[in-house]
């Protein structure tokens, strides 16, 4: 059972093969609104970073202008996992190689935040960089090597997929 004092924040990054206006990215762009709407109505969804356009594709916190981010908060790991792997979102993920370069290091970082906390872009990038430098830990972890909410019993430190 999830600890109601905490929620799960996530950042994922991707390096586009071309600018969003390029025809190669057209299907990705066409899927943004429906997939974001699906997230917004998914069980366990709390919040996502978005600009006035309704998505976060204009947010570019990395020096490489082709890296885009997605930042959101969910009630728990199970809710996020269901959205990512068991909803229509998974169909879009299957096509990611059409639009994005293969990532050779971490591209998803998860961490627990206090209830009602909305992570900043800087915080999310810092968590991603921590994961890249140090591997999974309570500071930043992955789906495959997740950590319980702060204060949970140590025996539950790493949960299987």
Q: How many residues belong to the chain?
A: 161
Q: Residue 105 corresponds to which tokens in the numbers above?
A: 């290091």
The predicted pLDDT at position 95 comes to 92
- 61 backbone dihedrals φ, ψ, rounded to 5°: -80, -5
Q: Is the pLDDT of residue 142 over 60?
A: yes
The predicted pLDDT at position 152 comes to 78
Mean pLDDT of 59-73: 96
DSSP state of 48: E
Mean pLDDT of 63-84: 96
**Per-residue confidence band for 158, with pLDDT thresholds at 50, 70 and 90:** very low
pLDDT in tens, 85-134: 999 898 888 999 999 999 889 999 999 999 999 999 999 999 999 999 99
As a whole-number percent, the residues of the chain with pLDDT over 70 amount to 94
- 45 backbone dihedrals φ, ψ, rounded to 5°: -70, 140
Mean pLDDT of 128-142: 97
The predicted pLDDT at position 103 comes to 84
Q: Is the pLDDT of residue 34 over 90?
A: yes
The predicted pLDDT at position 56 comes to 94
Identify whether the C-beta of residue 147 lies closer than 8 Å to the C-beta of residue 137: yes
Q: Is the pLDDT of residue 161 over 90?
A: no
**Per-residue confidence band for 75, with pLDDT thresholds at 50, 70 and 90:** very high
């Amino acid at each position: 059972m999830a600890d109601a004092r905490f929620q799960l924040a996530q950042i994922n990054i991707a390096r586009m093969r071309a600018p969003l206006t390029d025809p190669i990215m057209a299907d990705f762009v066409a899927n943004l609104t429906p997939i974001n709407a699906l997230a917004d109505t998914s069980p366990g969804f709390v919040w996502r970073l978005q600009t006035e356009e309704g998505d976060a594709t204009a947010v570019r916190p990395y020096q490489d202008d082709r890296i885009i981010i997605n930042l959101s908060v969910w009630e728990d790991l199970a809710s996020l996992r269901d959205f990512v792997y068991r909803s229509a979102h998974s169909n879009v993920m299957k096509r990611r190689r059409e639009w994005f370069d293969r990532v050779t290091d971490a591209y998803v970082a998860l961490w627990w935040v206090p209830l009602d906390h909305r992570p900043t872009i800087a915080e999310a990038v810092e968590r991603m960089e921590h994961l890249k430098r140090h591997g999974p830990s309570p500071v930043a972890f992955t789906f495959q090597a997740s950590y319980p909410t702060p204060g949970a019993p140590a025996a539950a430190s790493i949960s299987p997929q």
